[in-house]
Amino acid sequence: MNLRPRTSSWWWHAMLVPGVLILLVGGGEPEGHDVAPRRHSLEIQGMAFRPAVLELEAGDTVVWTNRDMVPHTATGTGEPAWGTGILSQGDSGQFVARARGTTPYFCELHPIMKGKLIIR
């Protein structure tokens, strides 16, 4: 005599399929989930911004540190206007990226020095 309870396969499928769908469909990050802002370090060295092009997210902070013996700036060319001010050797200045888009910048003291921020 078999004392094992009888279960029908439809019951298992009724329980299993929704559970698998929840795991597959609902397993990612919720929509609108914000990633924590990051801090990016750039160096001014050898009369150049290093790296010259940086990709970042809106809300991230960019910090320029002057490693040259001469003063420099990092000054945005777009709106709104922004800049680090004059940075002597060893000084740092920062910018918080608020709006998406491409933001060129340059050194006011040495206009041949150029860089670009690509804000996603």
Q: What is the pLDDT of residues 39-77, one digit of tens each?
A: 999 999 999 999 999 999 999 999 999 999 999 999 999
CATH number for the domain including 94?
2.60.40.420
Is residue 78 assigned to a domain? yes
Is residue 102 assigned to a domain? yes
Is residue 18 assigned to a domain? no
What's the CA gap between 90 and 3, in Å, rounded? 81
Is residue 96 assigned to a domain? yes
On the question of pLDDT at 104 being above 90, the answer is yes
Total structural domains within the chain: 1
CA distances from 52 to 22, 80, 88, 106, 114 (A): 44, 21, 19, 10, 7
- The pTM of the full predicted model, rounded to 2 decimals, is 0.71
